[in-house]
Amino acid sequence: MRPEIVKRRTDTLEYLQQMLGELRAMAEAERCDMLAYLIEMAYIEASDIIRGQRPSRVHGEQRDRAARVPLQATRKV
């Protein structure tokens, strides 16, 4: 991969990790334990990808089928 692509990817992952950290703090402040836990797992995943300890994509049968469920936009209240 070209250096500028690697830098952009790393910058994006670091931004995602920062946002996940803020979301985790918000979930903890609202005592949403399961939500905070799931966000923490995403935070750790981003950290592992940044450090090169985990691939950013999983191919073939290793992928969890539930992850393919499309997200639906929430309604405004």
**What does the domain layout of the chain look like in residue ranges?**
3-51
Using the predicted structure, report yes or no on whether residue 11 has a pLDDT greater than 90.
yes
28/36 Cα distance (integer angstroms):
6
In this structure, are residues 43 and 24 in contact, taking their beta carbons and an 8 Å threshold? yes
What is the number of other CB atoms lying within 10 angstroms of the CB of residue 35? 15
pLDDT > 90 fraction of the chain, expressed in percent and rounded: 52
Confidence at residue 34, expressed as pLDDT on a 0 to 100 scale: 98
Tens of pLDDT, residues 15-51: 999 999 999 999 999 999 999 999 999 999 999 998 8
pTM of the model: 0.68
- Distance, in Å, from the CA atom of 56 to the CA atom of 48, rounded to the nearest integer, reads 9
Whose tokens are 């393919």? That residue is: 68
CA angle, 53 then 58 then 62, to 5°:
115
* pLDDT at residue 41 in the model: 96
